[in-house]
Structure 1
């Protein structure tokens, strides 16, 4: 694929910043994450076009390239949610290009909230669209709203590569050393799936066992 190529009617951003974000994903991510990230951008941009949303395609693209890099050995921390690791990495990256603080925060929010259904869709278009594109690729949310032609063109360019079989383990590899960071998120489901006998922290028990006297 070349920068500036048009896929399913969507132009792939070809600025120096976009190229570098893609290069980092190539270097530190896997083929599965690369193709997933590209599809997520295209699905998000298609949704934006269909809904006549006004959004910055380049910021959406960079957000998509970084949204799962917090799962990788290069970017993951020992104590933060992987979404936050990816958001922090993207913010640091964008600072090198002199991006304004408001746009830095926008990208940070898009990545940090991409696994937060019920919140992201009420934020700015870039945040809502990334959440939509990722959800469409991973769990098929909005699948019927995607035309067969667009679907086939995108999959031909960026094959799914056994995502159903491999995505859960890819996620888990990114935070198996810090399962406590999945508390309160959908990623706790992955820990429950992958760790025998895993007991998720229980919010009701946290309330009942708080240090307050009553």
Structure 2
């Protein structure tokens, strides 16, 4: 797959600055067509949520966060012992540092990626963080599906097809952290492990309390 030739989809302009283009190139080089299409849909859905709510946000930073948000799942950026969300956030931070982007913007993108699966927190953070979270939720779980017209949905998935998304996304997630399932403790990706691994034993917070070294 090559860089998208689309300039505007569903009324959303896709950033084509040098830094946005380079982020897309990294996504294409180290990711998959499946993750590419997912990431672009996430950006579009996030942007539409922003437009609908009249939010002011930095479209370029939101785009870069979208491009990197799942790159922690791929071998190039996957660590041995960190959550995949943190791996993706760290990769984006290194990328932005190489472009001499300011610290506040870098932290914003880092937070957006690191928190994009954190229910109950991300939606209360800065606009770009909340929007990325909402875009992921819409594409993965259909959160806010009813807010999109059929025409808008069709335009987006024609440009960036879902290609059996429901069937393929759970194995795609799992492939990114099956070598470090302990990193899913306390987050929703433990559900992926439970789905993919027969008799998977999820670490339990209450057990951690009851079996701590304290005597009482």
TM-score (norm 1): 0.98
- Partners in 2 of 1:152 and 1:194 — Cα distance? 31
- Cross-structure match for 2:8: 6
Q: For the residues of structure 1 that align with 2:214 and 2:164, how far apart are their CA atoms?
A: 49
Distance across 2 between alignment mates of 1:28 and 1:46: 27
What root-mean-square deviation, in Å, do the aligned CA atoms of Structure 1 and Structure 2 show? 0.7
List per-residue Cα deviations over 1:78-126 (Å, max 9, x = no partner): 0000000000000000011111101100000000000011100000000
| Unpaired runs of at least 5, structure 1 | none
SS at structure 2 position matched to 1:111: helix
From 61, 74, 77, the equivalent of 1:75 is 77
Q: Which residue does 1:51 correspond to in 2?
A: 53
Q: Among 154, 161, 164, which residue is 1:162 paired with?
A: 164
Q: How does 1:1-214 map to 2 (within 5 A)?
A: 1-2=4-5, 5-214=7-216
Aligned pair count reads: 213
SS at structure 1 position matched to 2:187: coil
Give the SS at the match of 1:161: coil
CA distance in 1, matches of 2:46, 2:211: 42
Deviation at 1:148, TM superposition (A): 1.2
Structure 2: 5+ residue runs without aligned partners?
A: none
CA drift at 1:2: 2.1
